[in-house]
A = this chain, B = another copy of it.
Amino acid sequence: MMSREDKEFVKEITPQATDYSQWYIDVILKTQLVDYSPVKGCMVIRPYGFGLWENMQQGLDRRIKDTGHKNAYFPLFIPESLLQKEAEHVEGFAPEVAWVTHGGNEKLAERLVVRPTSETIICEMYSRWIQSWRDLPVLINQWCNVVRWEKVTRPFLRTSEFLWQEGHTAHRNEQEAEEETLKMLEVYRDFVENDLAVPVVKGRKTDNEKFAGALRTYCIEALMSDGKALQAGTSHNLGEHFAKVFDISYLDSDGSLKYVWQTSWGVSTRLVGAIIMVHGDDRGLVLPPKVAPVQVILVPIAPKKVRDEVLAKTGEVYAKLKAEGIRIEMDDREEYSPGWKFNEWEMKGVPLRLEIGPRDLENGQAVLARRDNGEKETVALDDLAARVRSMLEEIQDNMLKKARRFREENTSRTDDYEEFKRIIEEKRGFVISRWCGDPACEQAIKEETKATIRCIPFDTEGLPGKCLHCGSESDKLVYFARAY
């Protein structure tokens, strides 16, 4: 039997510089964001991690609804025959799906796929629901679990089961579908930058990297603190590809029969990984105030002889801040010292620590300590709620600025392939280079450097130059990086 002492957090976290992957695993396990499960590749999201995800969901769900979408729920299972209808789609997903073959004691007449994404089952429904131009646009989103049978997994970043939202819309024509695709990409950028304090580059995926079945895939790409990129969200213009095989057609106002144009777009629990790797440091997590499950941790400094008095007062402060809508918790455990608690809550990434001791009470004040930059400030108790609120905003702003600065410092620009290789190998980060548009060049660069084209940003064409790899004329600047 493990004793309580053994069980207490071992505070040592592997430093990022020593082993970044181990740092990541140490942090997520020790802060109790997640735990491994007995099911290969599937994680358990513990309350602290799920609280973070719930706040993220809330911020994104509001934006999805504000842009006119409604939530719905489609079945977990997809009949094999449906998955197979769109050729590129099945080719992309069939190798990594989980198959249900039996229900109860009976073998199923047709195998079912556990959804890896829901285009096919949703298209099947849309073909029933959409008949006239008056039925369009259809703007639906779904929050759910999906399963992709991954060989190598890492919590949040790549798991066999993950949670996400997937939007699925249908429109009258190409223009409306393209507008929707780009609108939702902008919603993602706004959400990820403003709520998660993670700066992103917006752009288009190359044909190699696009979604299986899509006409065009757009994405937001973020840079982790180890210099590797992470795809943080994608928005697909599906064209008429699915409409044609699922027969989603409508009678237009001019009396003609047309196929709808569709989009789909999604972000997942992978974004939790981005928060961890963009903001975390050797002491643990650093969580953005807007989504932190605990925004303020109140630690009473209460020596035994004044314990009751101090706790009575801190209890009042706690209740007041909570009533003002601040996500605050009070750590009044007797068995730990204040110093131990400071370490633990720093590790858990709580944006603000509020310390109140006997002398503070005498002086009608409290101490606020910031997780993001370590600054401390003494504040009058009367001003506390207002100052907490403004400081949370300052922290949120500072975290985004800091991450932007890091990304700028780690974005290089070269069209010289030798320099490119050196940067990718040594400095890492984003490298902006010219690419001719040939998938063969893209593939060769990937094989030779492990760097992929993360995205083709908007508005960078028109400047003549030469392709990084083949040297042919190119006016296309793209973002390269090694990626998760």
Contact = CB atoms under 8 A, between A and B. Distances in A.
Interface string A57-81: 0000000000000111111111100
Interface stretch (A47-55, A339-347, A379-387, A452-460): A47-55
A71 B54 contact: yes
A95 B105 contact: yes
A363 interface: no
A479 interface: no
Contacts of A335: 134
A172 to B, nearest CB: 15
A38 B72 CA distance: 16
B95 A104 contact: yes
A125 interface: yes
A102 B97 CA distance: 8
A445 interface: no
A44 B74 contact: yes
Contact of A44 (B44, B75, B251): B75
A124 interface: yes
B47 A79 contact: no
A151 B149 CA distance: 29
Measured as residues with beta carbon below 8 angstroms from the partner, the interface class of chain A is 35 or more
Given A73-B44, A125-B37, A1 B131 contact: yes
Nearest to A333: B134
Given A47-B70, A51-B71, A38 B103 contact: no
Given A44-B73, A125-B44, A134 B4 contact: yes
Contacts of A51: 70-71
A102 B99 contact: yes
A79 B131 CA distance: 44
Interface in A90-149: 95-105, 112, 114, 121, 124-125, 128-129, 131-132, 134, 140, 144-145, 147, 149
A82 interface: yes
Nearest to A100: B98
Contact of A39 (B47, B79, B132, B257): B79
A304 interface: no
A332 interface: no
A97 B101 contact: no
Contacts of A54: 71
Give the dominant DSSP class at A's interface: mixed
A116 B124 CA distance: 26
A163 interface: yes
A80 to B, nearest CB: 11
Contacts of A129: 35
Contacts of A132: 3-4, 7
B47 A71 contact: yes
A328 interface: no
A161 interface: yes
A51 B39 CA distance: 33
Given A39-B79, A71-B47, A100-B98, A251 B3 contact: yes
A226 B420 CA distance: 74
A102 B335 CA distance: 49
Contacts of A49: 72
A422 interface: no
Central interface residue in A75, A124, A161, A249, by most chain B CB within 10 Å: A75
Contacts of A72: 44-47, 49-50
A100 B113 CA distance: 9
Interface string A380-416: 0000000000000000000000000000000000000
Contact of A102 (B7, B82, B101): B101
A34 to B, nearest CB: 9
A2 interface: yes
Interface in A1-51: 1-4, 7, 35, 37-39, 42-47, 49-51
A337 to B, nearest CB: 16
13 contacts: A1-B131, A1-B251, A3-B251, A37-B75, A38-B79, A38-B82, A42-B75, A45-B73, A53-B73, A54-B71, A76-B161, A103-B149, A103-B160
Closest 7 pairs (CB-CB, A-B): A47-B70, A42-B75, A103-B149, A45-B73, A99-B102, A104-B149, A101-B101
